[in-house]
Structure 1
Amino acid sequence: MSEVEQSTGIWQTIREAPAPVKALLVGVFVNKLGWFLQVFLVLFLTTSKGFTAVQAGTALGVYGAGSVIGLIIGGSLTDRIGPRAAVMISMFGMAGFVLAIAYVPSYAAVVVVVALAGAVGQFYRPASAALLTELTPQNRQVMTFAIYRLAMNLGTTAAPLIGAALVAVSWNLLFIGEAIAALAYAAVAIVALPGRKKVAPASAAAEPEPKGSYLAVLRDHKYVLFLVCMFINAAIYMQYLAVLPLHMKADGFSTWWYSAMVALNGFIVITCELLVTKVVQNKPARTVAMVGFVLLGGGLAFYALPGGLAIFVIGTLLWTLAEIIGGPTMFAYPGMAAPKPLLGRYVGGAHAMFGLGSALGPFFGVWVWNSAGAQVWLWCGVLGAVGLVLAYFGMAPPAASKAQDLAPVAEVAEVVEGGKA
């Protein structure tokens, strides 16, 4: 292995990343610090607006549906107008729609604005991931995505606490805070993220406008298998939020013990994911994903065993290990597999399938729990095995030419700085 391939440590990756990558990571973190809407929407609609719990839950579902659609649109926008412009549209639009939620007069208007906020607010995710892929050499992409996930997790963890403090003062302040966070990321995009031509190699200046659509993505049959992997991964992963609390309550454990399981997962992910990524980042993506599915399905299936609290702790440790081993690779893989003209759509499709699995997984999980009890965990194990098989056939190693498309850090930085001159 060459010296360049070995230079993929955590701090070295951060230190040698181009300035736009560092700015993007800061922007995403700041934006996630203001991630209040999804967390507090139900409480706001029931306590401040006076809507029923059913109406509030429906609005939250509409927000989730809008988010999935927004990820698909965001991938297309990224390919058409570039990542920087897509981020700017997303953040300016999100700021406006979030503020509108606090002031629209009727439930119908609330639902429309919430749907738009969910959709437009997600444009940035495919754009950010595509830009990270474009600006990062292939041997550092998995570590860069692990750092990206850490920035998002830290912001998402702190956001509810900040939101609770704002709500204690005023509900309006909550929405103003989220709008400010979105505008802060928009400012980062304006000042620090390169435009489309600035990240392209000089030889590409004369290339025609990229053509293609999501139909072209669907014609990549191997990648479609990977998309199904993303859906399965999210659908069974979300059972720790949907079914696990019901199971622990049925077994006589208090809410405190369930909270301890969630906290255990969060602590390990935040403190250990970068260290684990340092070990697995240069392994074949297919192998890492398969190991992840073994641990995810196995960890959830472990919950079906008798044994009390120890079973819940061990199962949580197993699927948490799956998350920190497979997560960065799974989210970096779309950039490895995508042809450049369709990078945004490949990334957007993967994020959309993960979002769809996150939305539908809890519904089906609770339904199976109500019908068959703890057998739901065995079905999670079966689906984990299905994901393993799909990963084996769908995640072929990237073409050799793909590595040549990704400029080394020094070259990318030179292109970016040259574009600013």
Structure 2
Amino acid sequence: MHILAPRGRLPRGIRLLIVARAVNRLGAFSLSFLTVLISTDFGVSAATAGLVSAGFGLATVPSRLLGGHLADRLGRRRTILLGLIGCAVAQLGIAAAGSLAVVAVFAVLLGLAFELFEPPSQAMIADGVPAADRARAYSLLNAALAAAGMGAGLIAASVGRWDLRWLFVVDALTCLACAVIIAVVVPADGPRPGRATTAASSSAWRDPALLAMLGCGTLLALVYMVIMILLPLALPDYGLQAADAGILFTVSALTIIAGQPLLRLRPVAALPPAEGMAVGAAFMATGLAGYALAHALPALAVATVMWSVGDLLIMGRAYAVVADLAPPEARGRYLAVYGTSWGFATVAAPIAGTQLLERLGAEGLWACLAGACLLFAAASMSVKRLISRPSTAP
């Protein structure tokens, strides 16, 4: 008896799209240093520098929605290229800026371009991959970005010691390299549907199944962003260094990469979407409960593997569910609406996470996040009927 589910080979264009996005992620480290660059080069307070960074963050929310709209109207490839080139121009503008006002303008422009290419990239996968293989394809994209993220940290550590402005130059170059790969290997956009199409003219915001996924996705994104932001702050409570968070994040990335074959195990591949996400949430809850109980770095690493396996089981399924819910003509907008969950979570996570850490300590913070994962599992099962409607894929 075969324990692995049969799998089809992903189309060449999709594999090259994933490679191109990984190349782009290799340079996606500059934003972590935006606040530092502003405060050191222009001699302003951290609060002022933070306001500029907040301007970037707020601009990413309409950027993703615009990316979804353009993906369905202008075309997938054109929108990806527009976003990548826009990011490169804005990053070069930040690198060359001679005043705080110029940096602020380019930071907002970067935010407006930053998410343009996410919805069309995700929609392109849905267009080119059969419904049965979409969860695996989205998970592979997630793994490729995780692998590139590890390389990005090494590049940042070397280039950043020289001059922070060069981080933005390197980031811009990776955007342009990604754009070249997309332009060369991805087929040109075909004609887009007209406005008279019923499915295309319907509003994604009125689809109850999509709104149910948005609610679940926002809760999951909030948990994930609190981990990313608060883990370095929480480790000193255990007598560890904040920098040890880098080790744990590397363990997480390696788990997501090495765990890809897990998705092909028949018992895992056969799980329906709601049940699969609920099982993943249980793994995440277990790992985060482990954070609350474990105080040594090796034990924290084991807990990291647990919650990362949960992430592996959830992330690809969630995007596959949204892609299946969407009419083919509106996939970009559906995926963009779902993607706003990350924008909402990015705003809420620093506030909610720091309040929990201050009031409850590290153990209380992780216990609350474990509870939130269990709530996500229950929410996933509660919307099972909505998200299990037949796929609209051709």
Give the TM-score normalised by the residue count of structure 1. 0.83
Deviations, residues 261-293 of structure 1 (Å, cap 9, x unaligned): 333222212222x11222234421111111122
Measure how far apart 1:100 and its partner are.
0.8
Is 1:356 aligned to residue 324 of structure 2? no
Report the Cα distance in structure 2 between the residues aligned to 1:331 and 1:43, rounded to whole angstroms: 34
For residues 231-242 of structure 1, the aligned pairs below 5 Å read 231-242=218-229
| CA separation of 1:169 and 1:369: change in aligned 2, threshold 3 A | closer
Equivalent position amino acid for 1:391 in 2: S
Q: Tell me, yes or no, if structure 1 residue 185 matches structure 2 residue 167.
A: no
Contact 1:212/1:341, CA 8 A, preserved across alignment = no
> Compared with structure 1, are the counterparts of its residues 354 and 251 closer, same or farther at alpha carbon in structure 2 (3 Å cutoff)?
same
Distance in 2 between the 1:156 and 1:335 partners? 25
How much does 1:391 deviate?
A: 1.2
Q: Deviations over 1:331-365 (max 9, x none)?
A: 32211221122211111112221232134223211
User: In the alignment, which residue of structure 2 is the partner of 1:276?
Assistant: 262
Following superposition, the deviation at residue 254 of structure 1 comes to 3.2
CA 303–43 in structure 1, closer or farther in 2 if over 3 Å, else same = same
In the alignment, is the contact (CA less than 8 A) between 2:200 and 2:329 conserved in 1?
yes
Which stretch has the larger CA shift, 312-321 or 126-135? 312-321
Matching residue within 345, 354, 358 for 1:366: 354
Q: Residue 321 of structure 2 corresponds to which residue in structure 1?
A: 333
Distance in 2 (CA, whole Å) between partners of 1:167 and 1:138 is: 42
1:312 Cα deviation (Å)?
3.1
SS in 1 for 2:392: helix
SS in 2 for 1:119: helix
Deviation of residue 210 (structure 1)? 6.1
Partner of 2:96, secondary structure, is coil
Alignment partner of 1:220 is 2:210? no
CA drift of 1:388 comes to 1.6
Q: Measured at CA, do residues 258 and 180 of structure 1 come closer, stay the same or move farther in structure 2, by a change above 3 Å?
A: closer
Query: One-letter code of the match for 2:288?
Result: L
User: Which residue of the partner structure matches residue 34 of structure 2?
Assistant: 41
Offset of residue 118 of structure 1: 1.8
The equivalent residue for 2:376 is 387
Q: Where does 1:1-400 land on structure 2 (aligned, <5 Å)?
A: 6-8=5-7, 13=8, 16-197=9-190, 208=197, 211-212=200-201, 216-255=203-242, 257-272=244-259, 274-279=260-265, 280-305=268-293, 312-373=300-361, 374-396=363-385, 397-400=387-390
Assess, with a 3 A threshold, how the Cα gap between structure 1 residues 182 and 384 changes in structure 2: closer, same or farther.
Answer: same
Give percent identity, aligned residues only.
Answer: 24
Runs of 4+ off more than 6 Å: 204-207
For residues 244 and 177 of structure 2, the distance between their equivalents in structure 1, rounded to whole angstroms, comes to 37
Gaps of 5+ in 2: none
Inter-CA distance 209–166: structure 2 relative to 1 (3 Å threshold): farther
Over aligned residues, Cα RMSD in angstroms? 2.7
Query: How far 1:398 moved relative to its partner?
Result: 4.5
Range moving further from structure 2, 365-374 or 161-170: 161-170
**What is the one-letter code of the residue matched to 2:229?**
A
Q: 1:281 to 1:108 in 2, by over 3 A?
A: farther
Q: Give distance in 1, aligned partners of 2:156 and 2:292.
A: 36
The normalised TM-score by structure 2 is: 0.89
TM-aligned CA deviation for residue 82 of structure 1:
1.4
Change (3 A) 1:256 1:97: closer
Bigger mean CA deviation after superposition, 145-154 or 204-213 = 204-213
Query: Which consecutive unaligned segments of at least 5 residues does structure 1 have?
Result: 406-421
Say which SS state the counterpart of residue 190 (structure 2) adopts.
Answer: helix
Q: CA deviation at 1:6?
A: 4.6
Of 337-346 and 50-59, deviating more is 50-59
Alignment: residue pair count: 387
Cα distance change on mapping 1:237 and 1:208 into 2, 3 Å: closer
